[in-house]
Structure 1
Amino acid sequence: MAVYFECVTRSPQSVRELWDKSLDIDAHTESMKDSGERAVAGVVTGTIGLGEQVTWRARHFGLPLRMTSQITALDEPSSFTDEQLHGPFKYFRHVHEFVDGGTETIMIDRIEFAAGWGPLGWLAERLVLGWYMPRLIRTRNTFLLRGTTGQAAQ
């Protein structure tokens, strides 16, 4: 069984600004600097696009992790999806949506993942990953809002 959560972030930035920042490898790297996350293969800098892959190396919970993901869907500038091809999860899918709310942009992150590892993974999902993963997304989104007065992710 997979874990599913959503983060909603509101910003005075335009859909285009948030879209561009969300597809920017360098912005992602900077937003995840606390975990030492960096792109090591595929698209390692600049903007990633449909069908392109990036391999990330990071340290979470003191463990070195490597994850390769691919942009599997892209509807510019409304939504895009990235999915894990190889890595620590049995399954990982992240849908990014951008809605023009008139005076604000509403950015919605819909994430579904499964840890794998049998009963141990099920336990990790419920005890650790269920709170840790939304925190990572909120950290990333707070970084994307820098320089604005937008509301952090909920």
Structure 2
Amino acid sequence: MPASIEIVSLIHADPGVVFDLELDVDVHAASLPGSQETAKTSSGRRQLALGDEVTFRARHFGVRWRMTSRITVYERPHRFVDEQTRGPFRVLRHEHHFEDLDGSGTQMTDRMTISAPMGPLGAAVTRALIAPYLRRLLKRRAAHIKCLAEARRRA
């Protein structure tokens, strides 16, 4: 059975700014400096668009991981979805929603659904270890996006 994670962040910036920051692979990599993350895009652009694939390499749990995701939904500035095409999970679907708060900012919601291989054992490891870890990573990334977006608003 898949595990689900939801993180809601309030950001004092325009939804378009937050949306664009979320699709910038350099911002993505910089949000987790301890993981030594790198990103290579299929298009060569650093800003992802519909159909683009990005391959991330990073260190988590002391192990080097490689995962490729594709942007499967792109509705600027309201929503986009990335889904794993190759990598460690049986399923990884990450929905990003951006709701305009009547000009006062953006409610950014991350919804991630993950399922690991290896049946019941994979499901148990996902619930006990992987989902809490990914929740912390998503919170860190959201805080990084919030900081960048709000700094742009003040500038």
Give TM-score, length-normalised by structure 2.
Answer: 0.90
Q: What code does the residue aligned with 2:108 have?
A: M
4+ aligned runs moved over 6 Å, structure 1: none
2:18 aligns to what? 18
Aligned to 2:147: 146
8 A Cα contact 1:69 1:86, kept in partner: yes
CA distance in 1, matches of 2:45, 2:121: 35
- Alignment check: 8 A CA contact 1:82 1:94 kept: yes
Q: Work out the percentage of aligned pairs sharing the same amino acid.
A: 37
Flag the 1:147–1:87 CA change in 2: closer, same or farther, 3 A: closer
Q: Which amino acid aligns with 1:89?
A: F
Count of residue pairs the alignment pairs up: 150
* Cα contact 1:24–1:45 (8 A) shared by 2: no
2:100 is matched with which residue?
Answer: 100
CA offset digits 1:2-29 (Å, max 9, x no partner): 0012100001111011011000011001
> Residue 7 of structure 1 corresponds to which residue in structure 2?
7
Distance 1:41 1:98, change over 3 A: closer
The structure in which a higher percent of residues are helix is: 2
**Measured at CA, do residues 140 and 45 of structure 1 come closer, stay the same or move farther in structure 2, by a change above 3 Å?**
farther
Q: Summarize the Cα distance change of 1:61–1:43 in structure 2 as closer, same or farther, 3 Å threshold.
A: farther
Alignment of 1:105-120 (within 5 A): 105-120=106-121
Partners of 1:29 and 1:37 within 8 A in 2: yes
**8 Å contact 2:29–2:39 — kept in the other structure?**
yes
CA contact (8 A) 1:25 1:44 kept: no
Q: Map Cα deviations across residues 37-83 of structure 1 (whole Å, 9 max, x no partner).
A: 11145256520100000001111001111000000011111000000
CA distance in structure 1 between the aligned counterparts of 2:21 and 2:30, rounded to whole angstroms: 11
How far the C-alpha of 1:129 sits from its partner, in A, is 1.1
Task: For residues 88-128 of structure 1, give each alpha carbon's deviation from its aligned partner in whole angstroms, at most 9, with x where no partner exists.
Answer: 00000000000001212100111101011223312211210
Is the CA contact (8 Å cut-off) linking 1:10 and 1:104 kept in structure 2? yes
Following the alignment from structure 1 to structure 2, what is the Cα–Cα distance between the partners of residues 70 and 137?
18
Unaligned runs of at least 5 residues, structure 2: none
